[in-house]
Amino acid sequence: MKKAICLVLTLVLLCSFAACSKSTENQESSASSDTAALQPQVVVSEKGYVSMLNDLTTNADNYIGQVVQIEGMYTLQDFSAQGGKIYYYVYREGAPACPTCPANMCGLEFTTSDGKYPDYVPKDGDANSLHPWIKVTGTFNRYYEDQNGQQAGPFYTLDNATYEIMTTRGAESV
């Protein structure tokens, strides 16, 4: 399942569609790591969101270790009942007309060093408007996983991330 989600995310990144910028306000935050003291070196803005994510993953060697900031909706996938782990994401929907974006999910996984995440667990059929809008700042990294004896990946994440829950939402679709 994780492999399928990451494949969909990669495919979504190939779509290019820009949206207008919106302002945001801080409501709640997690001071979860040393990243909080660092200024982002890369900001994934609303305008060019998909193109920037595509560049991050296509040219990952240029970005590994850099502090990246991104805004979007929050969600998670919980595989702990099957002996797996929980994956946390910040995302937006890709262009609805894009034929390579079947799930329309475009974003990045993130992890916090303190294990604190937004207090929200998605349910099947939840509208995007129910997903908290967050700003995530973390160190861009690549990793691989063992899936059924096979090495899977690469997967991209923002490690040691901090997040802020925003009161103003940006464009859900980019």
Residue 17 confidence (pLDDT) above 50: no
Residue 164, CA distances (Å) to 5, 27, 79 in order: 24, 7, 25
Q: Which residue has the tokens 């939402």?
A: 169
Stretch among 9-23, 35-49, 61-75 having the lowest mean pLDDT: 9-23
pLDDT averaged over every residue in the chain:
78
Single pTM value for the model:
0.76
Residue 46, CA distances (Å) to 60, 92, 152, 165, 171 in order: 20, 10, 30, 17, 7
**What is the C-alpha separation between 157 and 91, in angstroms, rounded?**
12
Amino acid at 163: Y
Q: Which residue has the tokens 């502090």?
A: 67
- 13 Cβ contact partners less than 8 Å away, ≥ 6 residues apart: 50, 53, 54, 57, 58, 106
Q: Which residue has the tokens 């990144």?
A: 13
Instruction: Convert the pLDDT of each residue in 63-108 to its tens digit.
Output: 999 999 999 999 999 998 988 899 999 999 876 554 444 467 889 9
Closest CA to 87 of 173, 147, 20, 150: 147
Angle formed at CA 59 by CA 58 and CA 64, multiple of 5 degrees: 120
Residue 132 confidence (pLDDT) above 50: yes
**What is the C-alpha separation between 156 and 9, in angstroms, rounded?**
10
Q: How many CA atoms lie within 13 A of 5 on its CB side?
A: 16
pLDDT on residue 21? 31
